[in-house]
Chain A
Amino acid sequence: MSWRDFRIWGLAPAWVIMALTLVLPIGIVVLVSLSIRGAYGGFDWGLSFDSYAKILFEEDWDGNLAFTPQYLAIIGRTLWLAGLTTLICAVLALPAAYVIAQAPARWKAVLVYLVTLPFWVSMIVRVYAWIIILGNDGVIEKTLRGLGLVTDMDSLLFTNGAMLTGLVYSYIPLMILPVFASIEKLDPALIEASHDLYGSRWVTARRVILPLTLPGLMAGAVLVFVPCLGAVLEPILLGGGKTMMMGNLIQTQFGGGRNWPFGAAIAVTLMVLVMVFLMLNALRARREVGHA
């Protein structure tokens, strides 16, 4: 192969861009997470695990390390909310995708278009909409007060529930589309066969439809879970400062040069969590292919 070979220079730009803007910088992030916090923000090169220790321990005025759960709680909340979001998306997506797949051909195209359309609408506008709905004096509060059901209520904003709503709303199309694709491939004769063998609707749903749409659900789970782990907008706008996720914890460490090595350590932790998840998922997929 010569340098004039298109097989080389056709791929070269992609390799160069990814190496310079991704691979190299991520290497630097790892180095920064091991460096020492600078006196005036920023960092000084070095080799120290202080930033990782800070995730678990707090140094008191005596220099003793004491276990602190505050950052573990944030990591736990991130995993929990991302998992719950994925689960809720799956539960909502299955029946909706099923109905769309059963619709007559002309309707089907329209309904798929309607599912994807909100995804084109700016993310920040879609999250902002929930502030209007959940916020103080928002749509929900006004409706409930108008009906005389409540007189005074706590804000629905800045809660785990608000973040969960925003996350499900943001990422549901990424679950519906792969689930829809696998339901479309499902042979209707199998459902009829199950019925002929006296399987009730629910038995059919559980024993025939669910197992056959599992690949779609799993693909959707990856598409929803990974961005949820790194969510920034939803926790900032709907969760506020008290209920943080890893995404906005990282963001605050870099905003205003607060603590770059610590922010880098959290970013590396997040990256490792995502990689472990993707690897487990790849292993599971391989095992399933092996069984088939």
Chain B
Amino acid sequence: MRDVRRYPGARIFTALFFVWLYLPILVVIAYSFNENRLASVWTGFSWRWYESALQNRALLDAVKISLTVASIATAIATTVALMAALVLVRGRDVKLRRLSETVVNLPLLLPEIVLAVAVLILFSQIGLQNGLLKLVIAHSAFCIPFAFLPIRARLQGMEADFEEAAQDLYASPWVTFRRVTLPLIAPGVFAGAMLAFVISMDDFITSNLLNSGGSTTLPVYIFGLIKQGTTPELNAISTLIVLGSLILATTALVLTFRNPDRA
């Protein structure tokens, strides 16, 4: 008997869908090995664009700025999100709980360009000049909900029994947090931090609007290159970024699911 849950053509459609999903990325990777200076004319296989990319000072500077901003913003956003999640999930009789949840998730409710314009005007009004500081402040803010959601999910999926047991054994709130809660929710905290880091590294809209000399992030630098036209070096840089993203995504996945709940 034929399976009534199967739909003719649905599998082929899905296969084609996955091809469509990956083809553009594969095209960029393939073109990055083109020896020719013109990206669109294939003349042979070569690593030369990777060599020139890795010696490109401006690119390395942009990577450094992106990593600096993303690391600091991730640390701030994850700490703030963790504290908020502990109060909102574990706290009893928290005043303004619903409103506080909305406040924490506020950056998700508005288009990023609006937020970018808002901080741009704010920084110009208070006369903040330091480009790096501007980026760190803005990125920390919009990364908070991305760090918050996985941490909250982890806390909600976990009974408070162990924490209550620790409290019964006269552990102070800080010791309970350090020795019981944190190890248990570590995968959630890690997933949240990872997500915040990727969101910050990937950000274009805010970083571009706040861009000033000396604070060009990687996506903003790449945007500038794209504006000048497609080149094999740009393809090589893009391929390196794809590689970095894949390593990050796979690490995040493995580390998040390696510790199955023993609780």
| A192 CA to B3 CA, complexed, in Å | 9
Query: Is A83 an interface residue, CB under 8 A from the partner?
Result: no
Known contacts: A10-B87, A125-B242, A251-B113. The answer to whether A25 contacts B118 by CB under 8 A is yes
Query: Is A153 an interface residue, CB under 8 A from the partner?
Result: no
Q: For residue A157, give the distance in angstroms from its CB to the closest CB of chain B.
A: 11
On whether the beta carbons of B80 and A232 are closer than 8 Å, the reply is no
Query: Is B6 an interface residue, CB under 8 A from the partner?
Result: yes
Within 8 A of B (CB), among A130-186: 130-133, 135, 137-139, 142, 169, 172
| A227 CA to B112 CA, complexed, in Å | 8
Binds A, one of B14-22, B53-61, B183-191: B14-22
On whether the beta carbons of A29 and B246 are closer than 8 Å, the reply is no
Query: Number of contacting residues on B, CB 8 A?
Result: 81
On whether the beta carbons of B40 and A138 are closer than 8 Å, the reply is yes
- What DSSP secondary structure best describes chain B's contact surface? helix
Known contacts: A191-B4, A274-B111. The answer to whether A22 contacts B204 by CB under 8 A is no
| A230 CA to B204 CA, complexed, in Å | 13
Q: Which residues of B contact A263 (CB under 8 A)?
A: 117
Binds B, one of A50-58, A97-105, A283-291: A97-105
On whether the beta carbons of B117 and A264 are closer than 8 Å, the reply is yes
On whether the beta carbons of A267 and B117 are closer than 8 Å, the reply is yes
Query: Is B10 an interface residue, CB under 8 A from the partner?
Result: yes
> How many residue pairs bridge A and B at CB < 8 Å?
237
Q: Which residues of B contact A98 (CB under 8 A)?
A: 7, 10
Q: Which residues of A contact B18 (CB under 8 A)?
A: 114
- What DSSP secondary structure best describes chain A's contact surface? helix
Query: Is B81 an interface residue, CB under 8 A from the partner?
Result: yes
On whether the beta carbons of B83 and A264 are closer than 8 Å, the reply is no
Query: Number of contacting residues on A, CB 8 A?
Result: 81
Query: Is A26 an interface residue, CB under 8 A from the partner?
Result: yes
Question: Which of A139, A172, A191 has the largest count of B CB atoms less than 10 A from its CB?
Answer: A139
Query: Is B215 an interface residue, CB under 8 A from the partner?
Result: no
On whether the beta carbons of B107 and A22 are closer than 8 Å, the reply is yes
| A188 CA to B83 CA, complexed, in Å | 41
Q: Which residues of B contact A15 (CB under 8 A)?
A: 100, 103
On whether the beta carbons of B80 and A14 are closer than 8 Å, the reply is yes
Query: Is B72 an interface residue, CB under 8 A from the partner?
Result: no
Q: For residue B70, give the distance in angstroms from its CB to the closest CB of chain A.
A: 12
Q: For residue A175, give the distance in angstroms from its CB to the closest CB of chain B.
A: 12
On whether the beta carbons of B114 and A11 are closer than 8 Å, the reply is no
Determine which of A122, A128, A230 lies in contact with B111 in the assembled complex, contact meaning CB atoms within 8 Å. Answer: A230
Closest A residue by C-beta to B107: A22
Q: Which residues of B contact A124 (CB under 8 A)?
A: 202, 204, 219, 222-223, 226
Within 8 A of A (CB), among B116-163: 117-122, 124-125, 137-138, 140-141, 144
Query: Is A280 an interface residue, CB under 8 A from the partner?
Result: no
Determine which of A7, A23, A132, A191 lies in contact with B94 in the assembled complex, contact meaning CB atoms within 8 Å. Answer: A7
Q: Which residues of B contact A11 (CB under 8 A)?
A: 83-84, 87-88, 94, 100
Question: Which of A122, A247, A251 has the largest count of B CB atoms less than 10 A from its CB?
Answer: A122
On whether the beta carbons of B230 and A120 are closer than 8 Å, the reply is no
On whether the beta carbons of A125 and B246 are closer than 8 Å, the reply is no
Determine which of B81, B100, B119 lies in contact with A25 in the assembled complex, contact meaning CB atoms within 8 Å. Answer: B119
Q: Which residues of B contact A21 (CB under 8 A)?
A: 118-119, 122, 137-138, 141
Contact with A along B18-36 (1 / 0, CB 8 A): 1001101101100100000
A-B contact sample (17 more), CB < 8 A, given A96-B13, A120-B245: A1-B95, A6-B91, A7-B87, A7-B93, A13-B80, A13-B84, A99-B13, A113-B253, A117-B249, A124-B226, A128-B222, A128-B226, A132-B24, A132-B235, A232-B204, A250-B113, A251-B208
Q: Pick 21 A–B contacts, CB within 8 A, sort by A.
A: A7-B91, A10-B83, A11-B88, A15-B103, A18-B103, A21-B137, A22-B115, A25-B122, A121-B241, A122-B201, A122-B219, A128-B230, A192-B5, A232-B112, A247-B205, A250-B113, A251-B205, A260-B121, A263-B117, A264-B121, A274-B111
Q: Which residues from chain B sit less than 8 Å from chain A, CB to CB?
A: 4-8, 10-11, 13-14, 17-18, 21-22, 24-25, 27-28, 31, 39-40, 79-81, 83-84, 86-88, 91, 93-95, 100, 103-104, 106-107, 109-115, 117-122, 124-125, 137-138, 140-141, 144, 173, 198, 201-202, 204-205, 208-209, 218-219, 222-223, 226, 230, 234-235, 238, 241-242, 245-246, 248-249, 253
